[in-house]
C-alpha cells in the first residue's frame, strides 16, 4: 500500500474528524468540580464507545474512588510489539468565564483553530489517537502492532487515583513503550519531541523561638528572632556567587547531560526576551553558573522557596519578637537524583544551619522521580522519523522542567519508558480562557501517529 494512502484518507476525512471532536468537547468533564462528576462519567462512556468505533476490540470503564478512567485495546498478535497510549479525558475549570470569546463547551472553529475547553489538553489529543487508529484500519485493515489505551479522568485534579490503576492493572497495561500526547511542540514550524521531565522533592521548615510573641523592647537583644534565624538558614542553601545549591551531596547523583544532549538543547531556539516576558517581565534570567538558561530548565536541579511566614505583616508597626517562622522548600530533580534522598539531604542541611537560640524542625517529603528517555532509545528514533515524515523537518528533542506524575508512575511501577508526542503549541492557552487546538496540528498529529505505529513496529521488533 503506497504511503500516501493514509494521507489521502486523512485529508478526505478532515471535516468529519473535526465535527466528531467538537461533539466530544461538548461534554463538560471538569474533574475538579463535584457538580460535574456525572459529566466526567458520561465523558468516559462516550470515549469508550468512540474507541470501539475507531477499531479497538475491547473498551471498558475502569472505576476508581474518584472519576472513572477508560481502557481499550486492540491486540493484533502477541509476537508484535505493544504500545500503550496514556491521556486524560477530564478538563480544567473554565473561569473566568467572561474572558472566553465563545462558550468553552460550545466549541467553535475560527481562523483555523478549534476553540473550547479540552481542545488540546487533552481531549483533542486523545481524539487524535482514535482517529489515527481509525485511519490506519480504514486504509490497511490492521495495525502493525498491539495497541492499548488508558485515559484517566483525574489528571487535572492531581491524578489522585491513577497510581492505584497502574498498580492493579499492571498485567493488562504491560507494553514495550508508553506514548503520551499531552505536551506541545516548540513552534508551528519547529516540531519537537519531549524526552524528559524533572522530578520533585520537598522540605517544610519550622523555626520555634519563644513560646509566644515577645515585646521587642523588653527582650530584643537577648533573645533570638525566629525570622532572622530562618533567613540565615534559607540564605545558606544557595551559593550567592555561583547560585549553586549549597546542600552537601545535592549534586552527587546528578547525571550531567552529555555533549550530544547539550548540543541538542542548544539547537532548540530560545528567545530570552520572550522567555522573560512569559515569566511576567522579570528583569533578567538568573541561575546556576556554567549552564545556559535552557539547560537550567531542562537538565539541572533547583531548590526553590515556595512560601515563607512568621510575625506580623498587618498595617502599621507591631514591636515583637515573633514566636515562630517557617518556610516551604521544593526541589526540581534530574536523573539520577532520588526524591526521598534529596529531601533528607536538604532537611539535614537546614538542621545543620540552625543558629543557637531557636528550635528548628524540618520534614522531608519525597515526590516524583525525574524521567528521561534516552535520545538513543529506538522509540524516540521511531517517533522522530514519524514526525519528520509529516513535518518535513527533523524534530528537536526537548525536555520539560515540570513533571507529568502518571508518566513517573509508569516508569517507577512498571519500568515503562515514554515518548511524549504532543502536538500542542505554546500559545494554546491550556488551563486558561480561549483554549484552542490549531487544526493544522490536529490533522498533522493524526498522520504522525498513523506513521508512528509503523515505525514503532519495526523499531521495537524483538527478534
User: CB neighbours (10 Å) of residue 394?
Assistant: 14
Nearest to Zn ion of 160, 224 (CB atom): 160
306: phi then psi, degrees, rounded to nearest 5: -95, -20
Give least dist CB 105 to Zn ion, A: 17
Residue 159 near residue 235 (C-beta atoms within 8 A): no
Residue 226 or 422: the one with the smaller Cβ distance to Zn ion is 422
Cβ-based neighbours of 378, under 8 Å, separated by 6 or more = 459, 460
122 belongs to the binding site for Zn ion (CB under 5 A): yes
Cβ(224)–Cβ(209) below 8 Å: yes
| Residues between 181 and 220 that touch Zn ion (CB under 5 A) | 182
Is residue 154 at the binding interface for Zn ion, with CB under 5 A as the rule? no
Nearer Cβ to Zn ion, position 265 or 410? Answer: 410
**Considering the rule CB under 5 A, would residue 121 count as an interface residue with Zn ion?**
yes
Contact flag: residue 39 with Zn ion (CB under 5 A): no
Q: Which is nearer to Zn ion, 184 or 195 (CB)?
A: 184
What lies within 8 Å, CB to CB, of 255 at 6+ separation is: 334, 335, 336
Candidate segments 122-130, 339-347, 436-444, 449-457, binder of Zn ion by CB under 5 A: 122-130
End-to-end CA distance of the chain: 24
Min dist. Cβ of residue 121 to Zn ion (A): 4
Q: Which of 110-115's residues contact partners 24+ apart within 8 Å by CB, and which partners? A: 112/438, 112/439, 112/440, 113/436, 113/437, 113/438, 113/439, 114/18, 114/21, 114/22, 114/25, 114/436, 114/437, 114/438, 114/439, 114/442, 115/434, 115/435, 115/436
Q: Quick one: which segment of 92-100, 115-123, 261-269, 382-390 binds Zn ion (CB under 5 A)?
A: 115-123
Q: Which is nearer to Zn ion, 122 or 176 (CB)?
A: 122
Q: Which is nearer to Zn ion, 104 or 322 (CB)?
A: 104
What's the closest the beta carbon of residue 95 comes to Zn ion, in angstroms? 18
- Minimum Å distance from CB 29 to Zn ion? 12
Backbone phi, psi, residue 305, to 5°: -95, 120
Taking the complex as a whole, how short is the minimal distance between the CB of residue 431 and Zn ion, in angstroms?
9
Lookup result for grid cell 526540581: 332
Size of the site for Zn ion (CB under 5 A): 3
Region near Zn ion per CB under 5 A, out of 114-122, 195-203, 267-275, 434-442 = 114-122
User: What's the longest Cα–Cα distance across the chain?
Assistant: 89
Task: Pick between residue 18 and residue 151 the one whose CB is nearest to Zn ion.
Answer: 151
CA torsion, ordered 383, 385, 391, 395, to nearest 10 deg: 70
CA distance 31 to 37: 7
Give the span between the Cα atoms of 218 and 362, in whole angstroms.
30
Q: Which stretch binds Zn ion (CB under 5 A): 119-127, 224-232, 351-359, 385-393?
A: 119-127
> CB of residue 151 vs Zn ion: minimum separation in angstroms?
11
- Piece of 104-112, 113-121, 262-270, 319-327 that binds Zn ion (CB under 5 A): 113-121
Q: Is 295 in the site for Zn ion (CB under 5 A)?
A: no
Name the minimum Å distance from CB 47 to Zn ion.
15
Q: Which is nearer to Zn ion, 194 or 360 (CB)?
A: 194
Whether the bond between 96 and the residue before it is cis, its omega within 30 degrees of 0, is yes
Shortest spacing between CB 186 and Zn ion, in angstroms: 18
Select 163 or 348, whichever has its Cβ closest to Zn ion.
163
Within positions 380 to 409, which residues make up the interface with Zn ion, using CB under 5 A?
none
Task: For the CB of residue 162, give the shortest distance to Zn ion in the complex, in Å.
Answer: 13
Strand partners, 365: 202
Q: In whole angstroms, how close is the CB of 377 to Zn ion at the nearest point?
A: 23
Determine whether 275 is exposed, middle or buried from the number of CB atoms within 10 Å of its CB (0-12, 13-18, 19+): middle
Name all contacts of 273-281 with Cβ < 8 Å and 24+ positions apart: none
x-marked contacts with Zn ion along 164-183 as a string, rule CB under 5 A: ------------------x-
> Using CB under 5 A as the criterion, which residues of the chain lie in contact with Zn ion when the complex forms?
121-122, 182
Amino acid at each position: 500500500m503506497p504511503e500516501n494512502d493514509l494521507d489521502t484518507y486523512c485529508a478526505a476525512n478532515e471535516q468529519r474528524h473535526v465535527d466528531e471532536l467538537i461533539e466530544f468537547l461538548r461534554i463538560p468533564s471538569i474533574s475538579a468540580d463535584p457538580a460535574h462528576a456525572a459529566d466526567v462519567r458520561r465523558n468516559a462512556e462516550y470515549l469508550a464507545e468512540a474507541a470501539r468505533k475507531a477499531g479497538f476490540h475491547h473498551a471498558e470503564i475502569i472505576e476508581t474512588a474518584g472519576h472513572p478512567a477508560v481502557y481499550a485495546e486492540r491486540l493484533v498478535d502477541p509476537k508484535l510489539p505493544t504500545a500503550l497510549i496514556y491521556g486524560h479525558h477530564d478538563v480544567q475549570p473554565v473561569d473566568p468565564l467572561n474572558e472566553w470569546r465563545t462558550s468553552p463547551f460550545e466549541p467553535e472553529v475560527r481562523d483555523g483553530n478549534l476553540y473550547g475547553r479540552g481542545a488540546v489538553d487533552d481531549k483533542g489529543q486523545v481524539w487524535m489517537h482514535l482517529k489515527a487508529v481509525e485511519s490506519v484500519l480504514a486504509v490497511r485493515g490492521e495495525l502493525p502492532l498491539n495497541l492499548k489505551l488508558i485515559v484517566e479522568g483525574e489528571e487535572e485534579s492531581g491524578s489522585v487515583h491513577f497510581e492505584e490503576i497502574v498498580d492493579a492493572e499492571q498485567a493488562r497495561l504491560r507494553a514495550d513503550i508508553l506514548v503520551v500526547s499531552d505536551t506541545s511542540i516548540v513552534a508551528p514550524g519547529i516540531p519537537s519531541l519531549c524526552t524528559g521531565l524533572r522530578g520533585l522533592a520537598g522540605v517544610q521548615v519550622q523555626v520555634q523561638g519563644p513560646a509566644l510573641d515577645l515585646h521587642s523592647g523588653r527582650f530584643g537583644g537577648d533573645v533570638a528572632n525566629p525570622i532572622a534565624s530562618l533567613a540565615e538558614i534559607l540564605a545558606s542553601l544557595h551559593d550567592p556567587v555561583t547560585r549553586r545549591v549549597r546542600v552537601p551531596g545535592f549534586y552527587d547523583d546528578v547525571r550531567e547531560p552529555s555533549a550530544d544532549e547539550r548540543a541538542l538543547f542548544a539547537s532548540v531556539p530560545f528567545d530570552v526576551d520572550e522567555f522573560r516576558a512569559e515569566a511576567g517581565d522579570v528583569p533578567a534570567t538568573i541561575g546556576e553558573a556554567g549552564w545556559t538558561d535552557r539547560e537550567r530548565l531542562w537538565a539541572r536541579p533547583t531548590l526553590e522557596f515556595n512560601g515563607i511566614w512568621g510575625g506580623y505583616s498587618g498595617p502599621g508597626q507591631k514591636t515583637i519578637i515573633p514566636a515562630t517562622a517557617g518556610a516551604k522548600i521544593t526541589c526540581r530533580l534530574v536523573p539520577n537524583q532520588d526524591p526521598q534522598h534529596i529531601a533528607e539531604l536538604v532537611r539535614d542541611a537546614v538542621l545543620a544551619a540552625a543558629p543557637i537560640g531557636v528550635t528548628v524542625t524540618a520534614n522531608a517529603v519525597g515526590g516524583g522521580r525525574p524521567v528521561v528517555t534516552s535520545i538513543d532509545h529506538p522509540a524516540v528514533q521511531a517517533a522522530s522519523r514519524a514526525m519528520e515524515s509529516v513535518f518535513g523537518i527533523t524534530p528537536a528533542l526537548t525536555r520539560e522542567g515540570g513533571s507529568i506524575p502518571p508518566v513517573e508512575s509508569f516508569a517507577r511501577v512498571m519500568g515503562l519508558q515514554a515518548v511524549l508526542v504532543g502536538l500542542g503549541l505554546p500559545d494554546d492557552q491550556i488551563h486558561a480562557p480561549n483554549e484552542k487546538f490549531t487544526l493544522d496540528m490536529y490533522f498533522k498529529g493524526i498522520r504522525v501517529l498513523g506513521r508512528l505505529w509503523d515505525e514503532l513496529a519495526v523499531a521495537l521488533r524483538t527478534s
